[in-house]
Structure 1
Amino acid sequence: MSQNFPAMKNDLLLRAAKGEKVERVPVWVMRQAGRYLPEFRAVREKHDFFTVCRTPELACEVTLQPLRRFKLDAAIIFSDILVIPQALGMEVLMVPGKGPTFPQPLKSPEDMERLNHNPDVHKELGYVFDALTLTRTKLEGQVPLIGFSGAPWTLMAYMVEGGGSSTYSKPRSWLYKSPNESKKLLTLLTDTIIEYLIGQVEAGAQLLQLFDSHAGVLDRELFLEFALPYLVKIVDKVKSGLREKGIDPVPMTVFAKGAHYAIEDMAKTNYDIIGLDWTMDALHARQISNAHGKTLQGNLDPAALYAPVEQIAEATKSMIAKFGTKSYIANLGHGMYPDMSPDHLEVFVDSVHKYSQS
């Protein structure tokens, strides 16, 4: 597999993920390819969102766009977490000003009968694999390539709610009223994700990230019952599945936004990296991660990029001082916002380099 790809010139991210010594802290940001970049908006003026996702040449192009501007240490493939519900037979639209929308959400557990319970992942999501292979080749070893998936609970939340929500009360009600059916749906999502992530590594992904973006609407008890077991199954089965194919497992990150109560629970799993949102305490997380041999990723408040450039530099310096330079990947605590200045992101990236030289 990997012998066909160009040799790595910058493997800082991969070394930091494994807790190895690095000359400086690696940095990338969530949604680094996106609407804040004029060149991305130019592509979107010509193409629908999911057309970009499904066209390997376009997905590759927008994945590479931020690397032409910034001294980033990773590329993350341009895709969307909701390609999994699409692979299960659900329609998802990206509505301007509203975001992801499911015209026919799962209103009751009976609606799960509409889903494809045995999807052909390589057929349904082959375009992601093709985009990864093309991008890994075009990167020419410049930086590692990250693949990703939404986590089961977060995908279930969208599929039942039908779109974005501040409370996700509809899917949360399932956990109380229909726990067994909820677990059946979560298992279907989990098994699909496992196959999807193994395919991503086969296609060229060098690190994988699980986005549990809606973990924060669950309390710890619900998280431990309806989120964590499926996250554990994914990391264990992806790594063992790769080994069975004769492929070295890649580092894996779990990013459970809002689940500050579960950092230690996640640190006890086989994930290599714990992603932190901006509300999580760096010193507390570092104490836990050191005890369990984990790398941390995060966690500057994305809104800090609205500050004057001197303030961004200071905030970045302070963040690195808290986390230290070992077993650490610098990032924002969530993704870029559409109205952010690319120049301010550049200050963040350059400040990480400046303040983390060892």
Structure 2
Amino acid sequence: MTSPAKFAPLKNDLILRAARGETVERPPCWIMRQAGRYLPEYHKVKDGRDFFETCRDAEIASEITLQPVRRYEGLLDAAIIFSDILVIPQAMGMKVEMIEGKGPHFPEPLRTKEDLQKVLSYEVDVIKELDWAFKAITLTRTKLNGQVPLFGFCGGPWTLLVYMTEGGGSRLFRFAKEWINKFPELSQQLLQRITDVAIEFLSQQVVAGAQILQVFESWGGELSYEDFKEFSLPYLKQISEKVPRRLLELGVKEDIPIIIFAKGSWYALDELCNAGYNVVSLDWLWDPREASKINNNRVTLQGNIDPGVMYGSNEIITRKVQKMIEGFGGGKKNYIVNFGHGTHPFMDTEKIRFFLEECHRIGSAK
């Protein structure tokens, strides 16, 4: 993929500076799933279209990405491209559907060695298969006109293995656990293939215009500590090590920060802080002070208010924002505000506005 035309100069680089460990005037703010179903304008633009059809339409994906930035003008310090972590399995030749009210569904999940071989033998042309994603990023970066940086992202290898073997979300993780315990070497082959695709996908997102990246290891908390060290951490480390190298090969000289979000992986924070990422994002299970103590200023931390706090009163939101920012040392260094996971479809947009306003007010205090 060739480099796009030059983009407008960046007017707000707060999140990039914070991610690189610089002292900032206030903690930057963005929210996972900030472009999505809680916004009435999202439903209007989506207009009954299939979810992945919406992602593949660059104009619509771009518009949805910009909606929260527009609604909360001056309050969000980043945009994140409207897409999904399951585009990597799609690029690897698997069919994925998004069923309304149920979530992702794989009609033909990986259940046998023969199923796995089909995926492993499939030649993945990332630029061809995910061309639509790169077009959406370039268009969105152009439309942002330097207002805030644009996030690219992908799913973590273990998390994608879960979806590919389970056939969707799961409570028992029967098939994923069966694969790693019955066929560990084959599981590692699949994880390696996913990792290779993820590295190229992330790198090409930067070429297309992404300025910061996040890896979502959403099912990290379903692994034991020992299994995390074998089936997640090595592949996450490969991503943090190889993406910068690949970017240099592609002619990208800028320092692109990368964030890792391994939900529920409380046992691995120390290892994640040494995994080569600029930022480690935390879910709401963490006490900010304890997480900060373990981190010991090695990387920037991101998070971690419980999204459910948005259902509370303004007084509750203010109190919990205060505790969160104070817990992360006041927010002027090594900290990015975020939820501990994504928004919910039922959230009040004005509660989120109040949350962001309070983050700015409290984070800017001397």
What TM-score, normalized by structure 2, do the two folds share?
0.95
Specify the alignment match of 2:354 in structure 1.
347
Structure 2 residue runs of 5 or longer lacking an equivalent are none
After TM superposition, give the deviation of residue 26 of structure 1 in Å.
Answer: 0.4
Specify the alignment match of 1:330 in structure 2.
337
Specify the alignment match of 1:272 in structure 2.
278
Q: 1:65 aligns with which of 56, 67, 70?
A: 67
Q: Does residue 171 in structure 1 map to residue 173 in structure 2?
A: no
Whether the 8 Å contact between 2:46 and 2:60 is mirrored in structure 1 is no
Residue by residue, what CA displacement relative to the aligned partner does 1:128-161 show, whole Å, maximum 9, x if unpaired? 1111111011001110000000010000000000
Residue by residue, what CA displacement relative to the aligned partner does 1:229-283 show, whole Å, maximum 9, x if unpaired? 0000011010111123331240000000000000000111110000000002211
**Percent identity over paired residues:** 51
Q: State the one-letter code of the partner of 1:88.
A: M
The 5 Å alignment of 1:196-207 reads 196-207=201-212
Q: State the one-letter code of the partner of 1:60.
A: S
Whether the 8 Å contact between 1:7 and 1:141 is mirrored in structure 2 is yes
After TM superposition, give the deviation of residue 65 of structure 1 in Å.
Answer: 0.3
C-alpha separation between the residues in 1 aligned to 2:43 and 2:318?
Answer: 27
Specify the alignment match of 1:4 in structure 2.
6
Residue by residue, what CA displacement relative to the aligned partner does 1:41-94 show, whole Å, maximum 9, x if unpaired? 112224211011101111100000001111200000000000000111111111
C-alpha separation between the residues in 2 aligned to 1:92 and 1:117?
Answer: 16
Structure 1 residue runs of 5 or longer lacking an equivalent are none
Specify the alignment match of 1:53 in structure 2.
55
Q: 2:117 aligns with which of 113, 118, 131?
A: 113
Whether the 8 Å contact between 1:242 and 1:249 is mirrored in structure 2 is no
Specify the alignment match of 1:286 in structure 2.
292
Q: Does residue 195 in structure 1 map to residue 200 in structure 2?
A: yes
After TM superposition, give the deviation of residue 205 of structure 1 in Å.
Answer: 0.6
Q: 1:259 aligns with which of 255, 259, 265?
A: 265
Name the SS for the 1:356 alignment partner: helix
Q: Does residue 130 in structure 1 map to residue 135 in structure 2?
A: yes
Whether the 8 Å contact between 2:85 and 2:154 is mirrored in structure 1 is yes
Whether the 8 Å contact between 1:153 and 1:226 is mirrored in structure 2 is yes
After TM superposition, give the deviation of residue 2 of structure 1 in Å.
Answer: 7.7
Specify the alignment match of 2:226 in structure 1.
221
Residue by residue, what CA displacement relative to the aligned partner does 1:275-315 show, whole Å, maximum 9, x if unpaired? 00000221122123235x20000000011111012211211
Residue by residue, what CA displacement relative to the aligned partner does 1:200-237 show, whole Å, maximum 9, x if unpaired? 00001111000000001101100000000000001101
What TM-score, normalized by structure 1, do the two folds share?
0.97
Q: Does residue 234 in structure 1 map to residue 239 in structure 2?
A: yes
Q: 1:311 aligns with which of 312, 316, 319?
A: 316
Whether the 8 Å contact between 2:259 and 2:280 is mirrored in structure 1 is yes
C-alpha separation between the residues in 1 aligned to 2:20 and 2:5?
Answer: 21
C-alpha separation between the residues in 2 aligned to 1:167 and 1:252?
Answer: 31
Whether the 8 Å contact between 2:4 and 2:138 is mirrored in structure 1 is no
After TM superposition, give the deviation of residue 28 of structure 1 in Å.
Answer: 0.3
Q: State the one-letter code of the partner of 2:29.
A: V
Q: Does residue 100 in structure 1 map to residue 107 in structure 2?
A: no
**RMSD value, Cα:** 1.2
Give the stretch that moved more between structures: 307-316 or 334-343.
Answer: 307-316
C-alpha separation between the residues in 2 aligned to 1:355 and 1:167?
Answer: 41
Whether the 8 Å contact between 1:56 and 1:130 is mirrored in structure 2 is yes
Specify the alignment match of 1:243 in structure 2.
248
Residue by residue, what CA displacement relative to the aligned partner does 1:14-33 show, whole Å, maximum 9, x if unpaired? 00001112111100000000
